[in-house]
Amino acid sequence: MPTILVLDDDLVILDLLQTVLTDAGYETLVAPSLSKIAPNAKPDVVVTDLVPLQAYSRESALAWVSSLRARFGGSPLVVVTAHSPAVAELDRLGADAIIAKPFDVEALLATLEELLG
């Protein structure tokens, strides 16, 4: 069973995603910040909001994605964000996918299935 790590500072979104992903058969790790995740966690996919960003900045978003890449190696990374400029970034900020909030649950699940092969 694949493990999905979800990082979002919105507890309602965390609860929603934990329910949806668990119901879809995934093991889930959820946290409002990276500091709440065990250092040895090895998720198969990381789903993240741009947690440390209050206002969108490309440089800050790139730094966040880069820090997650460094921490979780080759795990695919999906950014789920309400920052419309982030959604418009052609390079997806170095993530494997960017999904706009509010998001369609079925589209998110399809993205995860595609990334997991």
85 class by beta-carbon count within 10 Å (0-12 exposed, 13-18 middle, 19+ buried): exposed
Q: Structurally, how many domains does the chain consist of? A: 1
For residues 76-84, average pLDDT? 94
The structure tokens listed for 51 are: 């947690």
DSSP output for 6-53: EE-S-HHHHHHHHHHHHHTT-EEEEESSGGGS-TT---SEEEE--TT-
pLDDT on residue 54: 80
Please tell me the predicted confidence (pLDDT) of residue 75: 96
- Residue entry with tokens 């119901």: 23
CATH code of residue 35: 3.40.50.2300
Q: Tell me what percent of the residues of the chain surpass a pLDDT of 90.
A: 91
The pLDDT tens digits for 21-78 are: 999 999 999 999 999 999 999 999 999 999 777 888 999 999 999 999 999 988 999 9
Structural domain range at position 76? 3-116
For residue 102, whether the previous peptide bond is cis, meaning omega lies within 30 degrees of 0, is yes
- Among candidate residues 50, 6, 8, the one with its CA nearest the CA of residue 32: 8
pTM for this entry: 0.94
Strands 97-100 and 3-7: unpaired
Q: What is the mean pLDDT of the chain?
A: 94
